[in-house]
Chain A
Amino acid sequence: MKSWFKQWTALSILGLMSPLFTLGSSGSETILFNEKVLPLLEEYCYDCHGDGAKKGDFAMDELIALGNVSKHSEKWDRIWKNIYNRNMPPANVPQPSDIEISTILSWIEDASFGHNPNYYDPAHVVLRRLNRIEYENTVQDLFGIEIDVKNYFPADDTGYGFDTIGEVLTLSPLLMEKYLGMAEIVMEETLGPIDDKSLRHRFKPNDLKGGSEQDGMRVLASKGSLSLTFISSQEGQHTVKVKATASLAGDELAKMSVAVNGKQITEFSIDAEYPNKKEYVFTFGAKPNFSNQITLTFPNDFWDPKNKDPKRRDRNLFVESVEISSPEGVPQNVIMTRMHLLGKWKTEEIGDEEAKTSFDRWLPRIYRSPLDPSQFERHISLYKKMKQKGLNTLESLRQTFKAALISPNFIFREEKKLKVNPSTQPRLLDEYALAHRMSYFLWSSVPDDELWDLATQGKLRANLREEVKRMIRNPKIDQFVKNFCGQWLQLRDLNLVNPNPAQFPTFSEEVRELMILETEKFFKHLLVENLPLELLLSADFSMINQELAKYYGVSGDFSNDFQKVVFRGEDLNQRGGLLTHGSILTITSNPTRTSPVKRGKWILDNLLAAPPRDPPPGVTELEEPNDSDFKKLTIREQMAMHSRSPTCYSCHASMDNLGYALENFNAVGKWRDHEGGKSIDVTGKLSSGEKFTGVRELQRFLKENKKQAIIRCLAQKLLIYGIGRGLNFKDRVVVDDVISIGKQEEIKLADLVFKVIQSKPFQLSQ
């Protein structure tokens, strides 16, 4: 009777809002809603949001009664998000199954967003410019140089947690300026100095160690030395010019004794009287790629404060600058880079023919796609124009490549579509674009020759699996590990935290580095060995070295190199799995104490993709209480008092309880059994009644009960990072598809990465 009544009401509601389901003329949507969807909403939502209940000022039955679902899509969107992120229904009430969730979500997508599930719309990926890491890797790989770009460009903005999102990668005038400057630097590194003239390195007072600064010079007022470090790239005789002066006192001139790499070379008597300067010249032989220490010593200080002439009282040595000229000719590193770019290195052998061949070979690589003839011609004519201006071949080449490096075709990653069957939408990316999506995804750089050649032959898709495997085994995969984990797991933030050294004296800069390496190497191990994802939490091993083992208090013999260590006995209670990594435990702490809230939030955000709802505006974020007696309580006891506040409870219960289980780790990831003399309670209890004690049980709980959520989360993050946009409801089915690798068998990391590359949003373009 009741169910008949409900059906009737539902029908009558739907009847009232006849224009509601504009999609279906047959009324099949009505029946679907009626028979499949409404009962689920009633069962899972109406306790709080229906039949008179209006929790959070929201009644679902009232929304349904409004009809015209597409007109209220904003409200339905919120419902969709809450269900998709598993924020609703809350954990303390019965949960819908994945299939039931899917039923509700696809109905909303259809009725409210007008989504046709049979047609996948890959959504527009806004033109992405290279971020500063990609730029650095790209020019290094293209030109075979080593160069620091990252610290020259301003920071890239991030969106959806990553710095690969076209929409927020803006191009400010400042950056344009830097592109021009960097193009110059890149080409100077690659082709060497103009006309093979010797390179001059100038050291200013600032660049010299020792003495003090006065009047824009470095001064030695008493016995002592000035020193500088010069890295020679070339072999041969280097000429050094020291611009110096000295004040006169006593009966001899100031001396300047010169030593290179500890060996004395010569000694000058400084006959230029202050403030007149003079150049003192000497030479020394250098090896290529060698760090030379040059020392200028002032051995004969003299001071006579009683001299009648105040100008004759003090003998000091002043140095204004040191200029080092490398020998003439092409330096060794430039020989290599010229060979790479031009196939020849001797300046006189490089002519128009070499220039043309080089453009032919490298411009497509720079622009990530073959050039059409007119485009190519434009470059040739720029080159010719440069020569007409009187520039020599190398200079003209340099300017033409510079022009390429500031062109939008280089700075932005245009993704072309396959030229077959242009009427079908969406279309597959062409193989060049696919190759670049893959290489920027896995290497943060351009394709290597092998990948490029596959794209040229149109055989990339046919060999996709082998190619992905090969790319993962390539050392450049470190870039993916660094950049993806750096942002997904927030490892980059470890460089921003500053634990209080008074409380945590063992946390050193070295430990900071090692912690990041541990997590990176651990992730890389799972990836390269293609191990099951669940090991992220359940691994009984980690990658550590001697220093980190000592820091963690893990027993055994270790070396300075990182190695895979399987934990045993007591060690196993404390270590193994991401949530025992010092990196993550430290990132999620405050400078002076742990923060169960932040730790819980980190798990929800980054592992479960179920971010807690934003704190209400005006109310403090991650609010933690403080009363005068509080300091005597453990963090947990303080938190518990706070969570009594009903406005905060519902969200905090989910975050804090996850964090409590990690309280055995202090704010810098070290194990502790006590806090302030009290033993620590590490049980966490979710509102659904599930309990876990300590990190091992928490990790087991997550692994067993949240398996799907974790895999889904990782798939989402990989997609966002790889394709460069946020996900929307249209991607739900895609994500489900990506993570559906064999329900029975375990999902492995490299397989998941492959599935992401294989997925529609990665392969298609709007």
Chain B
Amino acid sequence: MKITRRSALRGFGVSISLPVLESFGRTGFSEIPLRMGFTYIPNGVIIDEWRPKETGSLGKLPESLQPLQNYTKDFQLMSGLDHTKAYANGDGGGDHARANATFLTGCQAKKTAGKDIKIGVSVDQIAADAIGDRTKLRSLELSCDGVRKSGKCDSGYSCAYQYNLSWKTESMPMVPESNPRLVFERLFGNASSPLDRKAQLKRRALNKSILDFALESAKGFNNRLSKMDQDKLDEYFSSVRELEKRIEREEKNGAQISYLHRPEGIPDNYQEHLRIMFDMMALAFQSDSTRISSFLLAHDGSNRSFRDIGVPEGHHSLSHHKNDPDKIKKLALIDRFYSEQFAYFMHKLSTMKEVDGSRLLDHCMIVFGGGISDGNRHRHSDLPVLLAGGKAHGLANGRHVDYGSVPMTNLFLALLEKFDIEAKQFGDSTGVLRGI
């Protein structure tokens, strides 16, 4: 891992929350941080309605991507990116669980309903390990699925694979938050019980000493445990240390953003829910509370219905369309719905300004895509992938490139490279995707 100019920033005692950001940018354009975000579309898309057939510069977009027509200068479309580890490879059924689990890890999920869950560290967490300590939160995981399906998940895979995108270790997912109010409070504190700065500092000092105490307890506890349980306790150790670091980072800033409006709980309407979660991601980036985020719009295999757009059927059961034109039409409507929400996000990022007047969007690289290309046949090759933003870092937007057939993880390596994070290999990658 190599860290360049950005490591210098820490020395300046860079503050994190919004109001301070004003002073932060004065040192110049180059020091505005880069962010990465991942947003996941479930159940594949009707690709002909989603991605133009021709490569080269983007003209009129197909129906499902129409909502993004105004942003063609701000994203690029990619063909020929594969997730071969999402195929069965001898493990039988369970393509939805695999698609979801492989998306950011590029690894084959171990088929188990519970014992020894294992996949691989995801790209966002590789980034978080390298640069996460520069912000209040290492990374931020979001989802619109607040509850797990009960009973069996997908064909013998634990639900953990299907409801998490981000994996901190091979066996520990970063469980996403689905309540926007709680996300907000993580970012900016609990505005309903305002503490003055002195009280906050006092509370942090106390929290640090009780965390020390708990770590001490854990050591005694650890001695009594078997190997397998010690792995469990390792999760505890690492999470407590993470929390300690976070508290330290908070001490360096700590201003609360009182003029922002705290969202209420989870909206009933799915579109509103998606949008307010996108708001949260945008706010987190804007306030530099984190530079890394992932958002599971819905878990793969989701059978959500979309009555507001005239599709009362379940998404998953529809996705097995068997070339029925009526079903294909409805699926394309759902795809378009997701594009609309993503367009909302892009709009948001492009209206938020950095201190030098440039758009926040130009300092973000956002992947919008999914782990299934054709839902009907559960294909995991030639996935739908859109990469948005990153103008300030030279991303070549406004075009559609066909890469033939290369691992999706090659793209992720390229994103890591933009962060000056040297990861030679990751998941099933074969090299850095050039020219993005």
Contact = CB atoms under 8 A, between A and B. Distances in A.
Nearest to A367: B217
A157 B175 contact: yes
A163 B213 CA distance: 29
A170 B207 CA distance: 22
Interface residues on A, range: 35 or more
Interface stretch (B6-14, B223-231, B336-344): B223-231
A476 to B, nearest CB: 21
A263 B262 CA distance: 31
Interface in A161-213: 161, 163, 165-168, 170-177, 180, 201-202, 204-206, 213
Contacts of A167: 114-117
Interface stretch (B27-35, B56-64, B310-318, B363-371): B310-318
A206 B94 contact: no
Given A177-B246, A498-B305, A170 B172 contact: yes
B179 interface: yes
B262 A204 contact: yes
Contacts of B168: 172-173
Interface of B: 87-88, 91-96, 112-117, 138, 141, 145-156, 158-160, 163-164, 168, 171-179, 182, 186, 191-194, 206-207, 209-211, 213-214, 216-218, 220-221, 224-226, 228-229, 232-233, 235-236, 238-240, 242-243, 246, 259, 261-262, 264-265, 303-305, 307, 312-314, 317, 320-322, 324, 327, 376-379
A165 B116 CA distance: 11
Contact of B226 (A124, A201, A406): A124
Contacts, number: 267
B261 A205 contact: yes
A175 B243 CA distance: 10
A155 B115 contact: no
Given A382-B213, A399-B209, A617-B91, 12 more contacts: A126-B228, A157-B160, A161-B151, A170-B173, A204-B191, A375-B217, A409-B217, A414-B224, A490-B149, A619-B377, A623-B320, A626-B324
B261 A206 contact: yes
Contacts of B259: 216
Given A167-B114, A206-B262, A493-B150, A173 B242 contact: yes
B217 A173 contact: no
A276 interface: no
A160 interface: yes
B87 A617 contact: yes
A619 B94 CA distance: 10
A620 interface: yes
A173 B239 contact: yes
B377 A180 contact: no
Contacts of B376: 620
Contacts of B240: 176
Contact of B94 (A177, A180, A503, A617): A617
A500 B114 contact: no
14 contacts: A127-B228, A161-B113, A161-B152, A378-B217, A412-B236, A414-B221, A487-B151, A490-B151, A491-B150, A591-B312, A618-B88, A618-B379, A619-B377, A622-B320
A615 B377 CA distance: 12
Interface in A113-165: 124, 126-127, 129, 151-152, 154-161, 163, 165
A408 B236 contact: yes
B91 to A, nearest CB: 8
A285 to B, nearest CB: 24
Nearest to A203: B192
Contacts of A496: 147, 149
Q: Which 8 A-B pairs have the closest CB atoms?
A: A159-B114, A614-B93, A617-B88, A500-B312, A176-B239, A403-B210, A620-B320, A173-B242
A610 to B, nearest CB: 13
A590 interface: yes
B210 A624 contact: no
Contacts of B91: 617
A315 interface: no
Contact of A402 (B115, B186, B210): B210
A627 B149 CA distance: 31
A76 to B, nearest CB: 18
Contacts of B116: 167
A407 interface: yes
Contacts of A611: 152
Contact of A407 (B146, B163, B192, B218): B218
Nearest to B217: A407
A202 B194 contact: yes
Most buried by B among A157, A173, A399, A619: A173
A154 B174 CA distance: 10
Contact of A378 (B87, B216, B226, B322): B216
A714 interface: no
